[in-house]
Amino acid sequence: MSTGKRAFDLLLALAGVALLWPLLLLVALAVRLCDGPPILYRAERMRAPDQPFTLWKFRTMRPDPTDRGVSGGDKARRITRLGGHLRRLRLDELPQLWNLLNGDISVVGPRPPLRRYVEAHPRLYAAVLRSRPGLTGMATVHFRHREETLLAPCRSAEETERTYSTRCIPAKARLDLLYARRRTLWLDLHLILMTFLPDRRRRR
């Protein structure tokens, strides 16, 4: 990652912490009161094919020690009422400001994958993870709702895995690699703006 991009990340991360710390405390209190401990959810993600890190989120689901893979329709019953609101507003991702400060992720880049998918698709992720993973990115902006639509009907972990591996991973990788080829500061600013604009598709 370039020095300029890292400086940009740090500037936004520090600004985010300074502006959003009351919201962070409010969401943490809401999770504690409504859903109990633990407040935070941590999971291993990969920032390079051989470099794992711990990704932090506010907990939105009831814990399950057998949990594995991405979230599809098979996990919908575990999402708490508060968790559904946090996911819709993307407030569950606020703790990733720590990952941003720590240099684990960038503001814009491919979303960090689970180790299982990196190991299952080594050549693909060797290319994708040449870019530092991000809070948001081209695949997040342009494929997130399509991914939700594809995974929502899945009724088993096996079906979710099959759908994600065959229909989501290749499509997201194409977008992430397109971003890597076209990356500029202006593209980053555009993707950040698109991430937080109201979603018109949800209104229809």
- pLDDT tens per residue across span 105-146: 999 999 999 999 999 999 999 999 999 999 999 999 999 999
CB 49 within 8 A of CB 22: no
Q: Where are the domains of the chain?
A: 3-196
Q: What are the CA-CA distances from residue 147 to residues 14, 45, 71, 141, 176 (Å)?
A: 31, 19, 10, 11, 15
At residue 198, the pLDDT reads 61
Structural Rg of the chain based on CA atoms:
17
Q: How many residues does the chain have?
A: 204
Number of H helices, E strands in the chain: 10, 4
Bridge partners of residue 106, in order along the sequence:
134
- With a CB cutoff of 8 Å and minimum separation 6, the contacts of 88 are none
Please write the tens of the pLDDT for every residue from 5-55: 899 999 999 999 999 999 999 999 999 999 999 999 999 999 999 999 999
pTM: 0.88
pLDDT in tens, 47-97: 999 999 999 999 999 988 888 889 899 999 999 999 999 999 999 999 999
